[in-house]
């Protein structure tokens, strides 16, 4: 009887997915990729508004606040890595099961992943709160008491939103693995609107609410993340997302959780490598000027991330398409999706690179009137924009590989090019040549070129096609 009910749920799930999502197994390549990726790109752009909203309002406090929120974002990204890899691992396995036509196992895997994430993220937030001051001291932020105190206050408030943020990401990854990118977009839009409303009220005060400055910015974001987690859970519990959680006689399936962890740990380490490289660049930049150059890098990264939202969306779309089509043994469609992604992103990123080159000053003026920060931001963008196409090509390469479940291979590619190439190159060019901070930005572009070359070589080898999960 239980099996019959689960089978019935699977059929309902398939019907719902076909209405709300895309057909990655049979649909036309170019249009299917765009239809799936565009809501994700919009979702990521909306999500990025989280940091833009905070930066916009916090920048009114001063340049130290801009530097503090820049460091906080990188540390927040590092914290997020602990759970996001597990979510990605769950999504990869769910996508493979859907491609195989095993919706029952897809629902079961989703249930295990969500419950595990909820428990893990709660424990992680508590642990990080205890060790936060020591972590900031290790980064050398205590050398500037103002930046140190602002960073500590903001991050401590932000930790309260970690469980909601992690659960939302887990559910979004699972729902997207079914081909549905609409629901994640709606959730992120709602939470960003909430953050936009709360941020100015809590930062500057309104009526009976006293101004809380940086702490107010952190509380606003944390509250929005917690609300997003509740909305996500409500959505998937009702079955409207296209998947059905299975809680009958629930118990942790540790063999399955270990399989997810094996997938997820390499994804976490991959993003950890990105965090390490960025934090290292912040540390190198701080040697020249802990406020001007760090603030400029913070603003420049926002432009980069805006341009890369489309890359992230297309990359995840290709990753999901790889998982489903590998499960269905449609190998030719995997390479067709890759080719389409590279073609479309090359055109788009060329346009965005030109825009970044031309409007860097106008963008910086939104956040600061300091001429030194504006000038440094423009110099960064005039170099970084030349790496946009290379980053896009390299990112799509590794997403195909990780979509097949070969997450360790993609992690090695990222770590070797970002930590192994970017950091030492940036340090050498900035310290042993007259380039100073300009050498850091050139090092970033060189690492993106390396990412493209190494990733494409591994893609063409095709050994990742044999990965079992």
Note whether residue 328 is domain-resident: yes
- The whole-number average pLDDT for the span 96-104 is 90
pLDDT category, 258, cuts 50, 70, 90?
A: very high
- pLDDT tens digits for 189-245? 888 889 889 989 999 999 899 989 889 988 998 999 999 999 998 888 887 767 788
Instruction: Label residues 287-303 b or e (16+ Cβ within 10 Å = b).
Output: eebbbbbbbbbbbbbbb
Note whether residue 468 is domain-resident: no
Q: How many domains, the chain?
A: 1
Q: How many CB atoms lie within 10 A of CB 457?
A: 11
pLDDT of residue 50: 65
For residue 57, give every residue at least 6 positions away whose Cβ sits within 8 Å of its Cβ, in sequence order, or none.
199, 200, 203, 204, 217
Note whether residue 154 is domain-resident: yes
Give pTM, 2 decimals.
Answer: 0.81
Decide if pLDDT at 6 tops 70. Answer: no
Only one residue has tokens 């820049």, namely 70
Backbone φ, ψ for residue 209 (5° rounding): -85, 120
pLDDT category, 312, cuts 50, 70, 90?
A: very high
- pLDDT tens digits for 313-360? 999 999 999 999 999 999 999 999 999 999 999 999 999 999 999 998
Helix axes 254-288, 407-417, angle to 10 degrees: 10
What is the DSSP code string of 76-117? HHHHHHHHHHHHHHHHHHHHHHHHTT-HHHHHHHHHHHHHHH
- pLDDT tens digits for 392-411? 999 999 999 999 999 999 99
Only one residue has tokens 């296209």, namely 242
Cα torsion 223, 229, 235, 241 to 10°: value is 130
Note whether residue 319 is domain-resident: yes
Rg of the chain (C-alpha set) = 22
User: From CA 321, how far away is CA 318, in angstroms rounded?
Assistant: 5
60-66-72 Cα angle (round to 5): 130
First to last CA, the chain: 29
- Owning domain of residue 179: 2-463
CA 384 to chain CA centroid, Å, is 20
Decide if pLDDT at 2 tops 50. Answer: no
Note whether residue 281 is domain-resident: yes
Decide if pLDDT at 172 tops 70. Answer: yes
- The whole-number average pLDDT for the span 119-142 is 87
Cα torsion 309, 323, 451, 384 to 10°: value is 0
Only one residue has tokens 């290709």, namely 318
Note whether residue 276 is domain-resident: yes
Nearest CA-CA partner of 391 in 439, 357, 353:
353
Where is 128: in which H helix or E strand?
A: helix 103-138
Largest CA distance in the chain: 75
pLDDT of residue 12: 36
68-184-398 Cα angle (round to 5): 75
Helix axes 292-327, 254-288, angle to 10 degrees: 150
- The whole-number average pLDDT for the span 119-138 is 89
pLDDT of residue 51: 67
CB 71 within 8 A of CB 141: yes
Instruction: Label residues 87-98 b or e (16+ Cβ within 10 Å = b).
Output: bbbbbbbbbbbb
CB 174 within 8 A of CB 113: yes
β partners of residue 206: 209
What is the DSSP code string of 29-68? HHHHHHHHHHHHHHHHHHHHHHHHHHHHHHTTT-HHHHHH
> Which residue would you say has higher pLDDT here, 450 or 217?
450
Mean pLDDT is lowest, of 69-73, 267-271, 463-467, for 69-73
User: From CA 71, how far away is CA 280, in angstroms rounded?
Assistant: 11
β partners of residue 209: 206
Note whether residue 275 is domain-resident: yes
Note whether residue 124 is domain-resident: yes
What is the DSSP code string of 185-239? HHHHHHHHHHHHHHHHHHHH-BTTBPP-HHHHHHHHHHHHHHHHHHHHHHHHHTT
């Amino acid at each position: 009887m239980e099996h019959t009910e689960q089978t019935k749920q699977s059929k309902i799930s398939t019907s719902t997915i076909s209405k709300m999502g895309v057909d990655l197994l049979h649909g036309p390549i170019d249009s299917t990729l765009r239809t799936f990726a565009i809501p994700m790109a919009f979702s990521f752009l909306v999500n990025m508004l989280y940091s833009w909203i905070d930066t916009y309002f916090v920048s009114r406090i001063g340049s130290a606040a801009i530097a503090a929120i820049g460091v906080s974002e990188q540390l927040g990204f590092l914290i997020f890595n602990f759970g996001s890899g597990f979510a990605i691992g769950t999504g990869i396995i769910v996508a493979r099961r859907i491609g195989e036509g095993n919706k029952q196992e897809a629902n079961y895997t989703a249930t295990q992943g969500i419950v595990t994430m909820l428990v893990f993220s709660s424990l992680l937030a508590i642990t990080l709160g205890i060790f936060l001051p020591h972590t900031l001291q290790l980064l050398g932020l205590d050398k500037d008491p103002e930046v140190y105190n602002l960073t500590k206050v903001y991050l401590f408030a932000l930790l309260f939103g970690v469980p909601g943020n992690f659960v939302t990401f887990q559910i979004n990854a699972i729902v997207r693995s079914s081909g549905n990118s609409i629901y994640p977009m709606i959730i992120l839009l709602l939470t960003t609107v909430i953050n936009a409303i709360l941020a100015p009220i809590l930062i500057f005060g309104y009526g009976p609410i006293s101004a809380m400055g940086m702490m107010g910015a952190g509380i606003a974001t944390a509250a929005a993340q917690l609300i997003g987690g509740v909305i996500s859970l409500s959505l998937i519990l009702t079955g409207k997302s296209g998947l059905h959680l299975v809680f009958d006689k629930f118990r942790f399936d540790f063999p399955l959780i270990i399989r997810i962890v094996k997938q997820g740990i390499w994804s976490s380490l991959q993003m950890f490598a990105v965090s390490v490289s960025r934090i290292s660049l912040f540390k190198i930049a701080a040697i020249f000027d802990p406020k001007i150059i760090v603030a400029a890098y913070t603003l420049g990264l926002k432009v980069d991330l805006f341009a890369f939202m489309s890359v992230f969306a297309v990359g995840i779309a290709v990753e999901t398409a790889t998982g489903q089509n590998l499960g269905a043994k449609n190998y030719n469609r995997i390479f067709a999706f890759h080719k389409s992604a590279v073609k479309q992103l090359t055109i788009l990123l060329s346009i965005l690179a030109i825009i970044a080159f031309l409007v860097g000053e106008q963008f910086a003026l939104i956040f600061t009137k300091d001429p030194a920060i504006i000038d440094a931001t423009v110099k960064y963008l005039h170099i970084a924009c030349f790496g946009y196409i290379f980053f896009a090509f390299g990112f799509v390469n590794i997403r195909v590989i990780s979509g097949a479940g070969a997450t360790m291979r993609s992690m090695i590619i990222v770590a070797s090019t970002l930590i192994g190439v970017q950091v030492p190159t940036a340090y050498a060019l900035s310290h042993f040549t007259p380039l100073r901070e300009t050498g850091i930005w050139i090092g970033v572009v060189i690492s993106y070129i390396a990412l493209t070359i190494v990733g494409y070589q591994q893609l063409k080898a095709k050994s990742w096609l044999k990965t079992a999960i």
